């Protein structure tokens, strides 16, 4: 039997379009169904989830579609593409979860909440953008976009790529709507893709072209909702030491101090496992009790400590 206090489940964008796939809607639904089935299983055991998700490969496709149609339809700014991805992914997840709940005979409302996340306009990330997004461009196109103010990075042998700032999430604008949904027994799907990035200017919100790391936003969401448990579902069966080498070794249980030490030693790569561990440490230091990192198909076992990696506050190492 699982605990009855709500749990945040963050699903990686890379679990929705797998590497090497083109992202056909049937493929995306297949993966979404595979993720929602174990979540419905947890709900049938009495657990109430809040769901968030990444959007990496999906927003990449939206940007490419923008690019291909740029002579016919005005391209949309990146933050609107993030909003589009929240709507599209959220609609798929809600359809899939509604059906899995129906099969299990459970009556619950699932609601997608389009979510803005406030970032600091003076965040250092705006001075030096580092996050590559979207398609590869030719040198000519890269020059044209640089004149428009985009930051472009040449990746030897592959072409040019747009790089955008990845500022720290500071405040979830719709947090009260998410809290209210939870209190009413609704399952919220919120803050997708790290949230739509906005800054405040003269007290007004303004969308900015940036990508907020979804693991850091998820951690902020779990803290704001005072949750005790935070589950990160990704495409690897747990956290490893010596990742990428023959000597790699899966960690079953990890303490905060160890996590911080291994992070400094470079075991968790920046941009993938690194932000998940940072998100976990932030959540546990702000009152969270446990973070679980696992594959979606292992969710039911992972929540009972039989799969994935558990990072615990009480595990004082
Ligand atoms: P997501 O879309 O779920 O955020 P990411 O690709 O960002 O997925 O993060 C998961 C990836 O992290 C894994 O596929 C793996 O390649 C990579 N990774 C980096 N360091 C580690 C590590 N120490 N242990 C396990 N996976 C790692
Ligand atoms: Mg990621």
Q: Is the CB of 315 under 6 A from ligand 1?
A: no
Q: What is the CA radius of gyration of the chain?
A: 19
Q: Is the CB of 14 under 6 A from ligand 1?
A: yes
Is 182 in contact with 50 (CB distance < 8 Å)?
yes
Indicate the range of 1-5, 118-122, 176-180, 270-274 predicted with least confidence.
Answer: 1-5
Each residue's pLDDT tens digit, 198-218: 999 999 999 999 999 999 999
CATH 2.60.120.10 fits 7-312, yes or no: no
Is 155 in contact with 182 (CB distance < 8 Å)?
no
Each residue's pLDDT tens digit, 9-49: 999 988 888 888 888 999 999 999 999 999 999 999 999 99
214 given a catalytic annotation: yes
157 given a catalytic annotation: no
Alpha-carbon distance of 179 to 286, in angstroms, equals: 18
Q: Is the CB of 240 under 6 A from ligand 1?
A: yes
For the chain, the average pLDDT equals: 94
Alpha carbon dihedral 10, 14, 15, 17, in 10-degree steps, equals 140
Q: Is the CB of 211 under 6 A from ligand 1?
A: no
Domain ranges of the chain: 7-312
Sort strands 196-201 and 204-207 into parallel, antiparallel or unpaired: antiparallel
121 given a catalytic annotation: no
Residue 1 has what pLDDT? Answer: 46
**pTM (2 decimals)?**
0.95
Each residue's pLDDT tens digit, 120-178: 999 999 999 988 888 889 999 999 999 988 999 998 888 999 999 999 999 999 999 99
Please report the atom of ligand 1 found closest to the CA of residue 267.
23
> What's CA 102's distance to the chain center, in Å?
26
């Amino acid at each position: 039997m699982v605990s009855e206090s709500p749990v945040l489940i963050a699903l990686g964008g890379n679990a929705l379009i797998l590497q090497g796939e083109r992202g056909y809607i049937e493929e995306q639904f297949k993966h979404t169904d595979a993720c929602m089935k174990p979540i419905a299983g947890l709900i049938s055991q009495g657990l109430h989830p809040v769901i968030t998700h990444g959007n990496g490969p999906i927003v990449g496709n939206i940007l490419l579609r923008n690019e291909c149609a740029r002579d016919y339809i005005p391209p949309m700014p990146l933050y609107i593409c993030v909003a589009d991805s929240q709507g599209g992914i959220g609609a798929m997840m809600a359809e899939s979860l509604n059906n899995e709940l129906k099969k299990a005979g459970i009556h619950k409302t699932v609601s997608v909440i389009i979510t803005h996340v406030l970032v600091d306009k003076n965040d250092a990330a705006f001075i030096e953008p580092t996050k590559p997004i979207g398609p590869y461009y030719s040198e000519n196109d890269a020059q044209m976009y640089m004149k428009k103010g985009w930051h472009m990075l040449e990746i030897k042998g592959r072409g040019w790529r747009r790089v955008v700032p990845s500022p720290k999430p500071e405040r979830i604008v719709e947090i009260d709507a998410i809290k209210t949904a939870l209190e009413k027994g609704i399952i919220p799907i919120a803050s997708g893709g790290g949230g739509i990035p906005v800054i405040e200017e003269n007290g007004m919100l303004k969308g900015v072209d940036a990508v907020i790391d979804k693991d850091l936003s998820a951690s902020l969401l779990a803290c704001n909702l005072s949750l005790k448990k935070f589950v990160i579902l990704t495409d690897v069966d747990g956290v490893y030491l010596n990742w990428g080498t023959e000597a790699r070794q899966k960690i079953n249980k990890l303490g905060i101090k160890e996590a911080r030490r291994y992070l400094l030693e470079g075991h968790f790569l920046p941009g993938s496992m690194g932000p998940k561990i940072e998100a976990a440490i932030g959540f546990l230091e702000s009152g969270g009790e446990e973070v679980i990192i696992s594959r979606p198909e292992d969710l039911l076992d992972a929540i009972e400590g039989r799969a994935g990696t558990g990072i615990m506050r009480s595990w004082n190492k």
